[in-house]
Amino acid sequence: MDTYVQVDPTQQLDAYKAVKKIPLEEYFTSGHRTCQGCESALVMKMMAKAAGPRTIVLGSTGCMYVANTTYYSTSWVLPWMHTQLGSSGSAALGASAAFKALMRKGKMKKEPINVIAFCGDGGGADMGVGAISATLTHPDYNCLILMYDNESYANTDIQLSGSTPWGANTTFSTPGRVRRIMHRRWKKNMAGMMAAGHPTCRYVATVCMSYGLAAMNSIRKALAIGGPTFIHSLDPCPKGWDYDPYISHELGELAVNTGIWPLYEVEDGVLKLTGRTQQIAAKKVPRQPVRDYLLKQGRFAHFTNDDIDYFQNKVDEMWEKWLVPGVIPFRTELDADAAPSS
């Protein structure tokens, strides 16, 4: 770290060594109205638990705002504030700066307080990406931005976002008889972009709550390391992805095991593949075919075998052709000469 940057101390949040070590206290509890099987609600619950009681949470508009703070009821036990759809980055930085100023002026007891701002993929990867980027360039403010990615603008009825997978059926990309695939853009690589583009940001990670202990430990590391940090969580969404809520957990695992959702962390510029992704990369376990994941979801029910092959090839490319598999989506000139792109 630069010595001239005045970073306030953070809470000491050591990793939980086992599930049994996770505290029983809940800071996101009953009272919400999310769909049955909503993984984003689980992210909120585990995020609050991992952060503990000396935490303020700022939430941008989306399912995790609307369903969790319906008039006269809320599931938040922590202090919570709503912020505008595209402003998780500014809310995180502003709250952190406010605490700093109040403590400096003696108007508040000096103590480390966790500041977490969450956003959905629409609010984060699309609308709020500029504010998140700006925040990650301010190393002297401690805050975590957590982007919960249900791969659509879910709250307003499943419109496609920059995070929606290729070909998925959303209310903005309904397959028709003349044109089957209405969404032809590949999913934005948000975590990779945040890690590669913000060299002074000390911690960026991808998580999935199907691997809850690891995800909670990522959140604890992000809060304790100092400075602004970013976590991108992939969250199966029964309503938007159109499947039985019973298989939410399994779908999260499949996203990782098929290589569609690589788990990794970048800590002080050092990249580490984590969990099952590390095992796949080391060839200790095989990467499952994407078909196993896609065909369990109604949003891909219109896919033909050719569509599945296209999707598989794109994922194979991530693993076989990217400079850093699953993380950095370009090749060096040498690699490109050796194997022209398909």
Ligand X SMILES: Cc1ncc(C[n+]2csc(CCOP(=O)(O)OP(=O)(O)O)c2C)c(N)n1
Q: Which stretch binds ligand SF4 (CB under 6 A): 13-21, 74-82, 124-132, 231-239?
A: 231-239
Rounded Cα distance, 20 and 17, in Å: 8
**Range list of β-strands (E), 99-191:** 114-120, 143-149
Contact between 247 and ligand SF4 (CB under 6 A)? no
User: 19 and 61 in contact (C-beta within 8 Å)?
Assistant: no
Nearer to Mg ion by C-beta: 119 or 256? 119
Closest contact distance (angstroms) between CB of 66 and Mg ion is: 12
Report, in Å, the least distance between residue 238 CB and ligand SF4. Answer: 5
* DSSP code per residue over 230-283: EEEEE---HHHHTS-GGGHHHHHHHHHHTTSS--EEEETTEEEE-HHHHHHHTT
- Say whether residue 171 binds ligand X (CB under 6 A): no
Q: How many CA atoms, within 13 angstroms, populate the side-chain half-sphere of residue 183?
A: 25
Instruction: Give the number of other Cβ atoms within 10 Å of residue 120's Cβ.
Output: 32
Phi, psi of 254 (to 5 degrees): -65, -35
Judge contact between 86 and 122, C-beta under 8 A. Answer: no
- In angstroms, give the least distance from the CB of 139 to Mg ion: 29
Site membership for ligand X, residue 61 (CB under 6 A): yes
Of 65 and 300, which has the nearer Cβ to ligand X? 65
Is residue 75 involved in binding ligand X (CB under 6 A)? Answer: no
Kindly tell me which residue out of 40, 69, 169, 233 binds ligand SF4, with binding defined by CB under 6 A.
Answer: 40
Contacted by 67, from ligand SF4, Mg ion, ligand X, none: CB < 5 to 8 Å by type? ligand SF4
To the nearest whole angstrom, how small is the minimum distance from the Cβ of residue 63 to ligand SF4? 3
Residue 233 engages Mg ion in binding (rule: CB under 5 A): no
Task: Rule CB under 6 A: say whether 123 interacts with ligand X.
Answer: yes
- The torsion angle over the Cα atoms of residues 78, 84, 90 and 91, rounded to 10 degrees, is -20
Residue selected from 13, 38, 144, 160 as contacting ligand SF4 according to rule CB under 6 A: 38
Place of tokens 């922590």: 78
**Crossing angle for the helix pair 248-257 and 39-51, to the nearest 10 degrees:** 80
Contact between 154 and Mg ion by CB under 5 A: the answer reads yes
By the 10 Å C-beta count (0-12 exposed, 13-18 middle, 19+ buried), 153 is classed as buried
Residue from the set 55, 87, 142, 155 that interacts with ligand X by CB under 6 A: 155
State how far the Cα of 211 lies from the Cα of 221, in Å rounded to an integer. Answer: 16
Q: Which residue is nearest to ligand X (CB)?
A: 120
Question: Residue 241 CB, nearest distance to ligand SF4 (Å)?
Answer: 8
Q: How far is the CB of 315 from ligand SF4 (least distance, A)?
A: 23
Please select the residue that binds ligand SF4; options are 15, 22, 35, 182, rule is CB under 6 A: 35
Question: Which residue's beta carbon is nearest to the bound Mg ion?
Answer: 120
Interface pick for ligand X out of 41, 50, 117, 154 (rule CB under 6 A): 154
Residue 99's CB is within 10 A of a number of other CB atoms, namely 21
Residues binding ligand SF4 (CB under 6 A) = 34-35, 38, 40, 63, 67, 150, 154, 237-240
